[in-house]
Amino acid sequence: MSGPAIRKIIVEPDAVRHDIAHSILNNLPGVPVHQLTENFTASEITGHGMGRDIIHLLSYKGDFLKPCPGTKNYICCGYQILNIATNCPIECSYCILQSYFNQPDLRLFVNIKEELDKVLDTIDHHPDKIYRIGTGEFTDSLALDHITAFSGLLIPEFAKRKNTILEFKTKTSQVEGLIDSEYRDRIVVSWSLNSPYISGHEEHKAASLTKRLEAARKCQKEGFILGFHFDPIVCHDNWKEGYSKTIELMDKYIDPKGIIWISLGTFRFMPELKSIIRRSHPKSCVLNGEFIVGLDGKMRYFKPIRLELYSFIAEKLKKWFANSAIYLCMESDDVWKNSLYWSPKDSKGLSLFLDSRVRQIFR
């Protein structure tokens, strides 16, 4: 996977004063550039849809570092999001960003270099707090890295801080920017994984599972710590065989001792996403399960289905690596107890568990 083909670049008036904007433009020679003015809006240029082949350069006006938007009704891990971009070019049928953002195109925040000092100052003023930070919540961390070179900007700053880790989460095989860096400490490279069927039929422009794991092995050999995320786990025909096959592939390519954590989360979505999936991905199977409205207003599988999915996959993972740090994403205490047979009890407990994992791996 060499990255998406970009057919158009939109540049906001306040973006042109930032060096990163010019670097991105230099990395995309020959791509038509539209300078926005008061007479044109981005939507008039892009039209309707997600605009996954259109890059939009702008300055982000909000805080770059924010807590993950969890909910008090489920156990949250205390993750922090470094907001460098929104929207994703990979086009997974189940992607919640289809309903989360009402703005089209691949929006890249070119003022990150200037705003990064504020983020680092926050971290430095709380030396006793562990910051687990990721860039892959609202976009794929590496899908556009060959264009943005954001990793080259971020890695040196986070690698030198002992109270933080920076996690790059991806479905690509594009790790050249990471490997070119001289830094390895405090950096986690993570891959979102699924069954071969879901990967092949629902993650339309993602790298294959084999390509992802080959890239993970390359990073591991280069000295990076790895993470993996089975999220969303989708209940589908022959799902047990499918997820077992994925774990067999992990065993083929990866040394489990170099993994910091593996998360599990079943497919969940706001109700308005259903019509979007039906319209944009009419052949998708992800809506075929039995869903209820959860405590957070999201559609979730019935609890017995979630328990079966978690229990089966966790058991397979533990057989592969008994000491693996497996955790659930946005689940209740009783689901933890009845699937993983332990529970952190609450969000604070899960945060402490994952913080301890950081201290164990990065000494």
Q: Domain with 215 in it: what CATH number?
A: 3.80.30.30
**27 in any annotated domain:** no
The answer to whether residue 150 sits within a structural domain is yes
> Strand, helix or coil at 307?
helix
pLDDT of res. 42: 52
Note whether residue 262 is domain-resident.
yes
Query: What pLDDT was estimated at residue 48?
Result: 45
- Quote the pLDDT of residue 160: 96
111 CA to centre of own chain = 21
Number of domains the chain is built from: 1
Q: At what angle do helices 239-253 and 209-221 cross, to 10 degrees?
A: 30
pLDDT, residue 153, reads: 98
Does 47 map to a domain? Answer: no
Range of the domain at 228: 60-361
pLDDT along the chain (363 residues), means of 10: 80 96 97 81 50 93 92 92 96 91 86 96 97 96 97 98 98 98 98 98 98 98 98 98 98 97 97 95 96 95 98 97 91 97 97 97 93
pLDDT digits (tens, 9 = 90+) for 2-46: 567 899 999 999 999 999 999 999 999 999 999 998 545 555 554
Task: Please report the pLDDT score of residue 65 as a whole number.
Answer: 97
Crossing angle of the two packed helices 303-320 and 239-253, in degrees rounded to 10: 30
Nearest-10 Cα torsion for 246, 270, 92, 241: 20
pLDDT of res. 3: 62
40, part of any domain: no
| pLDDT in the model for residue 335 | 98
Q: CA 305, CA 14: separation in Å to the nearest integer?
A: 49
Specify if 12 maps to a domain. Answer: no
Write b or e for each residue in 259-281: b if 16 or more Cβ atoms lie within 10 A of its Cβ, otherwise e: bbbbbbbbbbbeeebeebbeeeb
Identify whether 17 is part of a domain: no
Q: What is this structure's pTM?
A: 0.95
CA atoms in the 13 A half-sphere facing the CB of 298: 16
Query: Is the residue at 30 inside a domain?
Result: no
